[in-house]
Amino acid sequence: MPNGSLIYQLSLAGANRLTWPQRKNIILDVAKGLAYLHYEIKPPIYHRDIKATNILLDSKMNAKLADFSLAKQGSEIQSHLTTRVAGTYGYLAPKYALYGQLTEKSDVYSFGIVILETISSRKVFDNLNSSMDSITDWVWTLVESGMMDEILDESIKR
């Protein structure tokens, strides 16, 4: 894909920063892809590894889900699949990580983490800021202190 992965685009500095409309469209493209996998295909497919490195961007910055190596096919008659936990640390839904119960909610949780990365341009684990364990801890701290506007990347605040 000509524009690489979402994580690559988020890590670029200066003039190559993603605009708010581009970020919004990427988020919407991923949401549409997940809706297709979960509700349009029978039985549904659970990706299990939704993360910024697995979202590829074409020449028009349209997002495509990639790397289906961990995907599992669900069942139309069961509420969840119980399976060996697979995915990337930091993106795993707590209920899935603890109990191995896989549903579309597992992918949706991971997608929420991707949204946080997309709007903040921060990685799931920020090596530069050792006081924060993860992006969710960082966001929660900002929310609790009433500083939610600090979540947004500086380049899209203008």
Mean pLDDT of 115-134: 80
CA neighbor of 58 nearest in space, from 18, 19, 5, 119: 5
Dig out the tokens for 100 from the structure. 């191995």
pLDDT, mean of residues 27-56:
96
Q: Which domains does the chain have, with CATH numbers?
A: 6-122 (1.10.510.10)
Among the residue ranges 40-54, 99-113, 119-133, the one predicted with the least confidence is 119-133
Burial 51-60 (b: 16+ CB within 10 A, else e): bbebbbbeee
Query: What is the pTM assigned to this prediction?
Result: 0.89
Tell me which residue has tokens 């000509």.
Answer: 2
Q: Which of 63, 46, 66, 24 is nearest to 109 (CA)?
A: 46
Q: How far is 51 from 33, CA to CA, in rounded Å?
A: 13
Residue 49 annotated to the active site: yes
Of 29, 49, 137, 153, the catalytic one is 49
